[in-house]
Chain A
Amino acid sequence: MQALYPLIILLPLFGSALIGLTGFMGPGFRKNERLIGILATSAVAIPFLLLVTAFASFDGTPIRIELFNWMKAGDLEVNFFYQLDQLSLLMGMIVTGVGSLIHAYSIGYMHGDSGYYKFFAYLNLFIFAMNNLILGDNMVVMFLGWEGVGLCSYLLIGFWFQDMAKAKAAQKAFIANRIGDFALIIAMFLIFREIGSLTFSDIVAADFGDNAYWIALLVFIAATGKSAQIPLFVWLPDAMAGPTPVSALIHAATMVTSGIYLISRIHPVFLATPEVMTIVVIVAAATALMAAFIAIAQNDIKGVLAYSTVSQLGFMFMALGAGAFTTAIFHVMTHAFFKACLFLGSGSVIHAMEHMHTVKDPQDIRTMGGLGKYMPSTSRTFWISTLAIAGIPIFSGFFSKDEILSSLFFNGYERPLYFAVWGVAVFTAALTAFYMTRVTFLTFNGQERFPQEKHPHESPSVMTIPLWVLAILATIGGFVGIPALLGHPLHIPHGLNDAWLAAEGGIGSTGLITNRASMVEAMHHHHSMEYFLLPFSALLAIGMVYFAFQFYKKHDLAGDERVQRFFGPLYNAMKGKFYIDEIYNALIIRPFVWAGTNIVLWFDQKVVDGFVNGTAAVVTNVGDVFKRLQSGLLSNYILLVAVGVVLILTYLIFG
């Protein structure tokens, strides 16, 4: 079986190349949607099955996949080596598992699109890049994947690039990510300068001293780009311009969690710098809260989900900031299930609304309502995922969210700041329950606000089956998601987490197994609190969902007006997304463009071009002089030869 593991990396690449090139060359192949869909899906499903077998036979020693030497230059040696350990196995199964479901879903969703083959070629390429990112055993291969997913994200957001707004959204995503990538490159330079290696096993074992601060900070900046945190989160809501399966796969379940993966992977560097951990937790709390506020006031179904994703990513970063790396990855997993389900559900809704051809904006929840009657599967799975993200007990989101909350809370005994963050997180969780219930209710329940001459239809089973699979996972993922292998008890989590303040050795360098003795001790110390926290967050979620449900049942769409009155002037700010795009535009983009068009352009035209043109002029003039020597007259040539001979011999004899 081991011999087949390279296919985990290679199959998606082959799939992408095969579909892309054949589609490019042969228009006949392009029309064969079923073949393309099956090829693309199996190029992801087979790696998933391989990862599952690897997981089943995993005994704690990392499995190595050594392909070949990439480059060797001086001290730097980079290999295409991959490592399957606790962390990468779990991430790999999420990526390929959710990935194959979304591939299958896309077969139905993209039906009839003129760029069908291109879509699947990009999607396969994305999986290849993502596998490099999470399975690579060194930072260079990881970075290849990091850039690769950025490229695929760009290509897929701008998939319908004839629409200028969508093309611009793609550029925005790419540029925002580039800022983060730049920080990551500098972090890699720093690491290489300090320890002369970029292999993860060397990085986690190294002591960076004072440089740990800068490395951790730069890696975190990179993570804010890819994982949409303040200040670089602005691209993610716009990224919803891409086809909905892309939003589900890339901008909810997988790519946006790379920042969390990377920080968990090199967590000892972060554990060495409490300052950066503080920055992480504050930024994360601010992001989560801000995004939750914005989500309340949005009417675009995908917009709500996008801000909800930003908010949930904030939760994961809060866990990282509390040193609870295991918990963060746990939430990555449960979030992948319910958020992918929500996005695919929204895709199903948009699909249905588009096919009615009667509404102007198929994504606006104000033109929906009561869809549950016509789309039972979509409605039910959407509700299940909503309950999961809201944190209702039994559903997966409850466990992971509760772990995050308690990890914050218990850190508060050492550093009171974490009590405040815990408070923000609890408040945000309540907001989450509210806005998710709102969007789900307004879409599927209540009055039918769409034009009545036609009614929407449920999507085909190729789309609803993935929805049901994800919904089931969103329900039970909390129980079986993290088996004992990962150091988790199989049943109800105790809010176990890794106190980074007390951690000694921390997560094992090869994975997630934690030295949690000190944490368990802290928990025993505050035993009674644990019994209080668990029911508290459960009751809060249940109460909020119930309240929101009753509220919108009573008022329907008019409920938004009451919400507006409740928040007062704040509501306009929420609706306007806190004007962050406008602020960036005024403070950064416009000055930048001004400097570009005035200062840099002048420098480019006068200094750079002047230098280049000057060189060219010298070459031209000298060339003309030389050209005159080439008269074509034999006697002149012989003269030149004679002069050359005389000069050479004179130098040799007398020189």
Chain B
Amino acid sequence: MSGTSSPPGADVPGVQADSEPRWPTEWLRGVLELCVLGILTEGPAHGYALAVRLEGAGLGAVKGGTLYPLLTRLETDGLVTSSWQAGTGGPGRKVFVLTETGSTEALRRTARWAQFTERTRRLLPVPDADPADLCLPSFLEQR
């Protein structure tokens, strides 16, 4: 943490400026892909639903310019597949589904992330804040 150049609350590209809490770019860069994989373990979702879910989890409003290239990368890596579904009263939506490899990878990365955060936490002073405010992604807390 001492090496972090921008404190929580700094402007983060791809995340709305008025959303709270705002996280440093490098933190989000590390965890966003894992969070998307985590949400997709719950079932298929389209891009906007993923963005809403991420914001609801307290990660801030993730812009389309950040989210869709990430999904494309996951698809390129064979972790998700996508298909267009007709919209009701609107344009169609591209729905993303986790592949078998993606499910395995989500669990593997989740375990690694848990290990990583646990080790990181050992190095850090205990914050005065309520642990509930640590804002770990909900799917990590469930596991």
A and B part of one assembly: no
Q: Residues of B with Cβ closer than 8 Å to A?
A: none
Interface residues of chain A, those whose CB is within 8 Å of chain B, are: none
